[in-house]
Chains A and B, each alone.
With several copies, the nearest count.
Chain A
Amino acid sequence: MTADGGPELVQLLTPEGERVHHPEYDVDLSDEQLRGLYRDLVLVRRVDSEATALQRQGELGLWAQCIGQEAAQVGSGRALLPGDFAFPTYREHGVAWARGVQPLQLLGLFRGVTNGGWDPHEHNMALYTIVIGDQTLHAVGYAMGMQRDGSDDATICYFGDGATSQGDVNEAFVFSAVYNAPVVFFCQNNQWAISEPLERQTRIPLYRRADGFGFPGVRVDGNDVLAVLAVTSAALQAAREGQGPTLIEAFTYRMGAHTTSDDPTRYRVSADLEAWKLKDPIERLRVYLARNGWADHDYFDAIDAEAETLAIHLREGCRSMPNPEKTSMFDHVYAAPHPLVEAERAEFAAYHASFAGGEH
């Protein structure tokens, strides 16, 4: 497996912050837009690191860090139009950011106060999905719905390198190809599925999986927000135009642990991490902006300050996030009244009432 992504890697901004050209893909962004992307990346990283800290402080039960993958997430998230619909895994904090989900809303699930967190319809983004691969079929179904509505929106569906081994993901490929559904499969190949390296999932580059199902696959530098934006926009456009699915493999790296419960020192060498640090998605954009005079120290400082404010907001918001009502677990199990659930709710309430004044 090519450690550097190989010649097929679409790149528009080198790790050194140089703008390069690609025969097929390009973006044309104003300096304001570029600064906007930079801001996104920095704020997303700050959300991520703050949440990690909150987990260490016992405020969250768990956190799945996205550090290193911000460009893949922000680049693809920013390629979406409002009518598009995103289906994330549990790590797409950058996509959520781009879809306008409030960072605080991401924390509820990890704090254990909800299994959801936001209104999927408000943001056109599904809830985080923990069971690997399940959401890929939902994305295809949603896209089939778009077809039937005659809309020219598309769905985008996120999953990891490990997920490509799941039957459901491959069924999603089948269904999308057969129905020519307007869906973009966005695989963040961060090289690891917990402790398992890519070689445990495939013996060829993942973007080539699409060949087997008859739709295009492309490998993009997942740490290059411009390339990701360009490639995702093109794939979404193709979907809108009725050309069906595309598989994008965003070649990136999980800079952190799998989650805060994980200890990557057991299974990977730090040299890898060091090598990938040189490809940091934020640094290259910073250099590019600075070199072209589109942003200066003041600007960068201002963003850092904004990030700090956001972190404080997050910290305070998280700490003051109330526990759910005990009986809320009986809510919404069904949309229509259900006698067993109602009976259990009543028993539960009566039982707790019997402790009134006590510890319960």
Chain B
Amino acid sequence: MAATTMAKAINAGLRKALENDPKVLLMGEDIGKLGGVFRVTDGLQKDFGEARVIDSPLAESGIVGTAVGLAMRGFRPVVEIQFDGFVFPAFDQIVTQVAKHNARSAGRTPMPITIRIPYGGGIGAVEHHSESPEAYFAHTAGLRVISPSNPLDAFVMVQQAIACPDPVIFFEPKRRYWDKADIDESIDIASAPSPFQARVVRPGSSITVACYGPMVRTVLEAATAAAADGTDIEVIDLRTISPLDVETVAASVRRTGRLVVVHEAPVFLGLGAELAARITEQCFYSLEAPVIRVGGYHTPYPPSRLEEDYLPDLDRVLDGVDRALAF
């Protein structure tokens, strides 16, 4: 597939999963005829039937709770939460059941559930449609949390998430749904890089910037701009938020001596905190500056006319880089 959008790439990934494993089921609000509000499930109900692509009642706890039962019965449910801000009614089922079932049952009732959540801002939406709640899930043992930054990763990672025996919260950077890339649909997901590993997407020597999901493109653009000024930024696409691939970041920081972490989510107790704490511990003698965090503020996500000021952009990334270099 040439020049495929991320939304279509995920669609293709879901299709492959449905084709390859009869136990894979999709469930969510409006995922059937409508194909989801972002059309990510477009055409799947038509091709795989209502028994496998299930329009659910409007109740997120119900969606995730029934997915738990389906998983116990041997299915691999892939559920869609329509927007980031609507995952909270399902929080109890996710934290209490999905995350703990495998441990509680000593491995007898694993939860190979994928919870797809379009997340993040930048699309001019109303309240609750632009949040980045990944830290809540990453703090929860038993869950895996990943987020692709580009169409190819999205295509592969969604299949890997579904194939994973553990529950995976799959955060889709909704404002990158329309980014395009070439995709080789024949890619073998088993031999593709693990979704639980970070990737250096731009090697550099001056400083390391770690980011994930929607921020990768922003950071790459910042790196290009910085290069013109002679600052050579190494950009790491974390890809996985839990487990966190600290090693890849540490290896980079040991070379560059400086780290900036960028995410849309609020900084306070956001992923940057954990990465900062771990990198500081592991690279204490290599660090020439404290880890600088660039992210959302300790405020609710603002009305959309302010979101450009809320979200980290190229300038704020560079500002973070400057602050780190100033030490």
Contact = CB atoms under 8 A, between A and B. Distances in A.
Q: Are any A and B Cβ atoms less than 8 Å apart in their complex? A: yes
Contact of A329 (B52, B245, B306): B306
B299 A330 contact: yes
Interface residues of A, number: 80
B67, B69, B93, B306, most chain A CB atoms within 10 A: B69
B70 A121 contact: no
A149 interface: yes
Interface of B: 25, 29-30, 32-35, 37, 51-52, 55-59, 61-62, 64-75, 77, 85-86, 88-89, 92-93, 96-97, 100, 102-110, 112, 124-129, 141-142, 144, 164-166, 196, 242-245, 268, 297-300, 302-307, 309-310, 315-316, 319
Contact of A201 (B57, B129, B300): B57
B265 to A, nearest CB: 14
Interface string A132-143: 111011111111
Contact of A126 (B29, B72, B305): B72
Contacts of A340: 242-244, 268, 298
Contact of A141 (B29, B69, B310): B69
A351 B319 contact: yes
A111 interface: yes
20 contacts: A62-B126, A109-B303, A112-B124, A115-B300, A116-B108, A130-B126, A141-B72, A141-B73, A142-B72, A144-B66, A147-B51, A195-B33, A329-B299, A329-B310, A333-B142, A333-B299, A333-B300, A340-B242, A340-B244, A344-B297
A131 B298 contact: no
B93 A175 contact: no
Contact of B306 (A127, A145, A326): A326
A326 B73 contact: no
Contacts of B142: 333-334
Contacts of B73: 141-142, 145-146, 149
A143, A147, A167, A352, most chain B CB atoms within 10 A: A167
A172 B62 contact: yes
Interface of A is mostly: helix
A178 B72 contact: no
Contact of A115 (B55, B68, B74, B104): B104
Interface in A218-243: none
A168 B89 contact: yes
Interface in A112-164: 112-116, 119-121, 126-127, 130-134, 136-149, 155, 162-163
Interface of A: 61-62, 90, 108-116, 119-121, 126-127, 130-134, 136-149, 155, 162-163, 165-168, 171-172, 174-175, 178, 193-196, 200-201, 261-262, 266-267, 323-324, 326, 328-336, 338-341, 344, 348, 351-352, 355, 360
A253 B199 CA distance: 51
A194 B316 contact: no
B243 A338 contact: yes
B62 A332 contact: no
A262 B39 CA distance: 11
A200 B34 CA distance: 14
A9 B58 CA distance: 25
Nearest to A326: B309
Closest 6 CB pairs of A and B: A141-B69, A137-B65, A145-B73, A112-B304, A141-B66, A195-B34
Contact of A142 (B69, B129, B164): B69
Contacts of A61: 124-126, 304
Nearest to A183: B69
A175 B57 contact: yes
Contacts of A109: 126-127, 303
A266 B34 contact: yes
Nearest to B51: A148
